[in-house]
Amino acid sequence: MSRPARDAHDPAAATDNRLVVAISSRALFDLGESNDLFEQEGLDAYRAFQIEHENDILKPGVAFPLVQKLLDLNKLAGDVPPVEVILLSRNSGDTGLRIFNAIQHYGLEISRAAFTSGAPTSDYIAPFKADLFLSANAEDVGRALAAGVAAATILPSTAPPRATEQLRIAFDGDAVIFGDEGERVTREEGLEAFHRSERELAEEPLSVGPFRGFLTAVHRLQAAFPAEDSPIRTALVTARSAPAHKRVILTLRRWGVRIDEALFLGGRDKGPFLDAFGADIFFDDSPANVESARKHVATGHVPHGVSNR
């Protein structure tokens, strides 16, 4: 795979183009056993367990394959890494030693972290300038979204890791990339009113959703590689269908954002299509959609918009 050209005389500009992903320890590693212990027996039992087992290597969690592929992009990108992964954990520094032992064991290039000893981690997302926050803690995700950061709750999944080296990211449209006004019209007035509204407003761009900034950052990273040999592929997987497709396409064109595949499913179950696309992660606001998707692919629930009120 070809390496992108970079301006060696402008490292600051390259750093500004870096994609930064913040992730919780429970999204990165399988901490189910110790988290159950914490909920059943409390902090002291949890702390003793983690210290006793700090040399036992944690198993990969749901988002582990995604993080591996993100960090592997750094091997292709020249002198300045295009991707940085930050660990944000409600563990203490003491109990977090086991997590860093696992990071080192798997050879993950993660060096920055915040351990909050049970306090919310979302306050540190902005100082780290993260484009995306992934966590198993819905409270932290909600706080991040409220602060204007793309964020998703990583759900338990039995989906197998993808065998391909290419990183594949799939997005829902309304209330994720775009605002939720279309969903509000559907809920309040019905599907016919939604299609009528979309025809009338076809030339008017959709409003910005919580993942617009992250999508732009991914597009910026994609642009550093030849389109025919890109290590990243994206897909829009939406319940929309014609005639509601036109406004989506024109909005993305207005934004100057590249989406490699667009699936307009007209309400069909998204899971099999995500499996066919080979998504490493899928982001959707609808609880029903994420329940379907997580049977096929790693899935992040975006608790935003009218579907979550």
CB 42 within 8 A of CB 35: no
Q: What is each CA distance from 116 to 25, 66, 92, 119, in whole angstroms?
A: 12, 24, 6, 5
CB 138 within 8 A of CB 205: no
- Burial class for 267, CB neighbours closer than 10 Å (0-12, 13-18, 19+): exposed
Closest CA to 55 of 91, 104, 88, 93: 104
| Catalytic residue from among 131, 172, 180, 280 | 172
Catalytic site residue 172?
yes
**Structure-block tokens of residue 258:** 């590249």
Four-CA torsion 276, 279, 285, 286, nearest 10 degrees: 30
What is the CA angle 211-299-216, rounded to 5? 20
- Return all residues near 88 (Cβ < 8 A) that are at least 6 apart: 22, 23, 24, 113, 114, 116, 121, 122, 124, 125, 128, 133, 135, 140
- Return all residues near 142 (Cβ < 8 A) that are at least 6 apart: 151, 303
Q: Which residues are catalytic?
A: 172
